[in-house]
Amino acid sequence: MVRRDELAVSAADDYIRHGTPLFRRTNLALFAAGIATFGLLYCIQPLMPEFSADFHVSAAASALSLSLTTGVLAFAMLIAGAISDAWGRKVVMTVSLVASSLLVLATAMVPDWHMLLILRTLLGLTLSGLPAVAMTYLSEEMHPDSIGLGMGLYIAGNAIGGMGGRLVAGVLADFVGWRAGVATVGVIGLASGLVFWVSLPPSRHFTVQALDLRTLHARFTGAFRDPGLPWLFAEGFLLLGAFVTVYNYIGYRLLAPPYNLSQAIVGLIFSVYLIGTFSSAWMGHLAGKLGRRKVLWTTFALMLVGVMMTMAQSLWLIVLGIVAVTFGFFGGHSIASSWVGRRAGAAKAQASSMYLFSYYMGSSLAGAGGGLFYASHGWPGVALFVGALVVAGLLISWRLYQLPPLPGPPSPGTEPVLPEM
């Protein structure tokens, strides 16, 4: 007679574990996917001053090239996971990567501003299929003792992609034009899509589920019954809204007098984004030791100090301010997103989707709104706007501090860490 613990061991062996060829293939695939997804999304951020000059649009209008993408992405991610339930994880993620790369390649050839905005809007729709589904794939296929490492490597790809897309497009724009920079990122996306398709193991624990909008709606509304989750959704909105606004408009300031930096140098400054690969892990570990309630507020405080530093005239203080904002953002996002998984209970997928929806809406709305402040008051207006967002996040973190702690630690592998941006 087969013992119950022997059956459990046999079932566990069917999952992907670190140290195996399947684990290496999975992480190669998702690392490549992370690089492509966030490179395709953010490659235009350092190019906004170029768009203003080339298409004769304001800073606020130029920011629509990112805000429209993230706004559509926010809504599309609410249903992308449900679509993958019906069509399969790998198929949806592969189509997402290839279609998004082709749209970015087309963006490099647009004749006018309106066509560029149309393609960037469609990009938000196609991109949604990867970040919404990758986390689900990992939670289904990875062994509990390996999912943390697997998710961490995926997040590293996200951070490197976000930095690499900005860096490649920004530097190439100075030497061969922004169109060549965007096209290069599109080619990298296609190559990453090929690596992803070849490397990712097929799903072994996926079960086809019919798309039921009524059930999906009930699960989403249930997330708002928790006293802490809506506040965490708001934190996601404020975190990415403040972060993206700084990155959207700092280039305008540094390209103008008295700094007169080249587009290549401004693109290199965006490499501080890479600090997020350290910040998210270190702050997350610190929150695990001391408690999220005690650590989350410090990330907003650090962002506030960073915003204040960008008001200085010294270029080095401005760069250090960007570093502080970046460090605080990634740390805050790591803590808030893992806290969502901790509080969500059985509704993790729906709570995670709502957090990501709020997160990307912050990028869309605040990122575009910051342009109005830049147009009316220059960088001081942007800093004031971002400072208000960060102060709001600081106040909400105090509200979250007052929540009673949840009983007991989460079981290994059940607490998702959401993709970093």
Q: What is the pLDDT of residue 226?
A: 80
* CA–CA distance, 207 with 224 (Å, rounded to integer): 27
The pLDDT, as a whole number, for residue 116 is 97
Helix (H/G/I), strand (E/B), else coil: 18? coil
Of 390, 357, 134, nearest to 242 by C-alpha is: 390
Place of tokens 């679509």: 83
What are the residues facing 142 on neighbouring strands? Answer: 16
pTM given for the model: 0.79
Q: Is 118 inside any structural domain?
A: yes
Give the CATH number, domain containing residue 188: 1.20.1250.20
Q: Is the residue at 13 inside a domain?
A: no
**Residue 59's CB: how many other CB atoms inside 10 A?**
22
Give, in degrees to the nearest 5, the angle at Cα 12 between 8 and 17. 160
Residue 409 lies in a domain: no
- Angle, CA of 126, 185 and 182, to the nearest 5°: 95
d(CA 80, CA 93): 10
Whether 9 is in a domain gets the answer no
Walking along the chain (421 residues) 10 residues at a time, the average pLDDT comes out as 44 74 89 89 92 93 94 87 77 93 96 96 92 76 71 72 86 91 96 94 74 66 78 95 94 92 84 78 77 90 97 95 93 83 68 84 92 94 98 95 64 44 53
The reported pLDDT for the residue numbered 57 is 94
Q: Is residue 356 part of a domain?
A: yes
The CA distances from residue 300 to 49, 127, 296, 340, in Å, are 28, 29, 7, 18
Q: Would residue 414 count as lying in a domain? A: no
Q: What is the DSSP string of 121-159?
A: HHHHHHHTTTHHHHHHHHHHHB-TTTHHHHHHHHHHHHH
Helices (H) and strands (E) in the chain, counts: 17, 0
Which pLDDT belongs to residue 30? 85
Q: How far apart are the first and last CA of the chain?
A: 51
Question: Which structural domain range is residue 80 located in?
Answer: 18-200+212-401
pLDDT for position 421? 53
Q: Does residue 407 form part of some domain?
A: no
Q: Is residue 3 part of a domain?
A: no
- The 8 Å CB, 24+ separation contacts for 200-204 are 200/25, 200/26, 200/29, 200/30, 200/90, 200/93, 201/16, 201/22, 201/25, 201/26, 201/141, 202/90, 203/88, 203/89, 203/90, 203/137, 203/140, 203/141, 204/14, 204/141
| pLDDT attached to residue 149 | 64
The total of structural domains in the chain comes to 1
